[in-house]
A and B are shown apart, each in its own frame.
Chain A
Amino acid sequence: MSGPLLRVEGVTKYFGGFTALAGVSLDIAQGERFGLIGPNGSGKTTLINCISGSLRNDGGSIAFDGKEISGLPAYRRTRLGIARSFQIPRPFGSMSVLENLQVPLEYVVHRGALHTADTRGEAMQILETMGLADKAATPANGLTQVQLRKLELARAMASRPRLLISDEAMAGLSSSEVEEVIAILGRLNDTGIAIIMIEHIMRAVMRFSQRVICLDAGNIICEGPPEAIVKDSMVQKAYLGA
């Protein structure tokens, strides 16, 4: 099928009387590298929550692979191929780092055929790409903030998604670690996985993305290739003026 991988149309979300998303529309193509920026509180995480199913959108539609998903529980969307990381890390704290990855491996990738799967081995491979291999046996609640952010990405990768949404995974990382994560996401993207990168580190988003959207107060104020976005006066106003 040649349609977009993800189609978001007129999505609205209200918290009481507050409008967090005021009719957001966007398309993500198969294998696209997509940047989502916007000032704090502009609705980026809320949009991700609506796409991943952690929240239900109040209006509009969300289609994945041409199929309406806005009524589906989050676990079904993950099984369809949407994975996300959490901006505020939500590890399975009582499990080891390795076991954290076994959850999506057991519940998404090898569901129904567990006895033939080597989930520990697969989890270990992913941890190696994320540079967390030496932490495999560590309880997740004993990790540092930086390690927790890497674990978020690793766990999202473990569900073998077709669309990976990274919500500020690089906050607090050193510049060499940022480079590392960009490289990892780039390699994932090379295998055909579409990636939505939400990031405050402009340099990272601009370098990584083929296309960028800027949200402000629940509205898309600008969309285009990274070079155009940095020059856009609305974006500059939203970032500097707000």
Chain B
Amino acid sequence: MIPRNARFWTGAAAVIVLAVIVSLSRANEYFFFAGFVVLQSVVLATAWNILGGYAGYVNFGTAAFFGIGAYMAVVVINATGAPLAVQILAGAAVSGLLGLGTGLLTMRLRGIFFSIATVAIIFIAETLITNWRYVGGATGIQLLRPPLMEPFGSYTRMLFVVMAVLAVIAVSIARYIETSWIGRGLQAIRDTEEAAECSGVPTLKLKLFACTVSGALMGAAGAPLPMYLSFLEPASSFSLNYSVAALAGAIIGGTSHWLGPVIGAILLASVQQIVTVTIPGEINVLVVGVLLVVFVVAAPDGVLGLLRKLRGKLRRPRAPAESPS
């Protein structure tokens, strides 16, 4: 049997290589435009799951961390003109700090009160940006894409590859957390915080860690947005749709395993993309809501839960079910 780690890293490398090859192919430009969005939602759902899935703290503030990441990129562009990699690092750093701050302020709250507090973060962040002229204020800001980088044939193709790399990084971090002692600690927190503390788990520290990492990855996901759109304005950058999509992707895929948010986000974002080009209007938002409700009611363990059940049924005559890795 191939060791799990080798299998994972082979897969991760394959994803990046594949993204590069496709980006150099003659595939339709629209594919990269849509693919970028799908990969972006993989990063967001994966980031959301670190706090929301592993630790059970349902965060509605994804849009705030994502939007701040995007606007940090604008700040970097305005102030220094530094390249995309720097923009992403800056977005991740500031959103990570925002995550830490949010954690410090809200971690005494549990359940629904925590979730409500995270919604407030979006409004605070959006209001701040709306009133900040330097990054365009309420009307937004137009941005010039830098000259094309070899060997990519278009800027969107390059951003597609960048987002693929970010997705692989996000999933690797989530997987590391999940399979290490940190993941077990977060799981203990989700199950019962009081017993976790009494079993030696530093619950506050772990929750703050999860908030920070989750926020940083969301910020990294947002940072390429200004260059992707060539334009940024607050209302759509801080849209609640990002919050809902991140949460829905993780829940639809299954929150207990790193693969869940990946599957859920790809599924959800792809369906949304298809709906967007076939049916005009805001139907794609409705799709998220309907799918989320269907899964919460009928398959609370998500696609992964369904697959596990299926595998259990198929295997029952021979051996008990085991969890995928």
Contacts and interface: CB of A to CB of B under 8 A. Distances in A.
Interface of A: 52-54, 73-75, 78-79, 83-84, 86, 90-95, 99, 102-104, 106-108, 111, 114, 155, 158-159
Interface of B: 181, 184-185, 187-188, 190-192, 194-204, 256
A78 B197 CA distance: 8
Contacts of A107: 181, 185, 199-202
B185 A103 contact: yes
Contacts of A75: 197-203
B200 A159 contact: yes
Contacts of B188: 92, 95, 103
Most-contacted residue by chain B among A54, A75, A99, A102 (CB, 10 A):
A75
A203 B171 CA distance: 56
Contact of B187 (A52, A74, A94): A94
B191 A104 contact: no
Contacts of A94: 187, 190-191, 256
B197 A73 contact: yes
A106 B191 contact: no
Contact of B200 (A54, A92, A111): A111
A84 B198 contact: yes
Nearest to A152: B195
A52 B198 contact: yes
B197 A90 contact: no
B69 to A, nearest CB: 31
A104 B256 contact: no
B interface SS class = helix
Contacts of B194: 54, 74, 86, 90
A74 B184 contact: no
Contacts, number: 80
B199 A78 contact: yes
A104 B188 CA distance: 10
A103 B202 contact: no
Nearest to A83: B198
Contact of A99 (B184, B196, B203, B256): B184
B190 to A, nearest CB: 7
A104 B200 contact: yes
B196 A54 contact: no
Contacts of A83: 198
A29 to B, nearest CB: 23
B198 A74 contact: yes
Contacts of B197: 53-54, 73-75, 78
A114 B179 CA distance: 13
22 contacts: A53-B197, A53-B198, A54-B198, A73-B202, A75-B200, A75-B201, A78-B198, A79-B200, A90-B194, A92-B187, A92-B188, A92-B196, A93-B192, A94-B187, A94-B191, A95-B187, A103-B199, A103-B201, A104-B199, A108-B199, A155-B195, A159-B199
B232 to A, nearest CB: 40
Contacts of A103: 184-185, 188, 196, 199-201
Contacts of A99: 184
A215 B191 CA distance: 32
Nearest to A73: B197
Most-contacted residue by chain B among A53, A74, A95, A111 (CB, 10 A):
A74
Contacts of B184: 95, 99, 102-103, 106
Contact of A91 (B191, B200, B202, B204): B191
A66 B217 CA distance: 45
A99 B184 CA distance: 8
Given A94-B256, A95-B187, A108 B195 contact: no
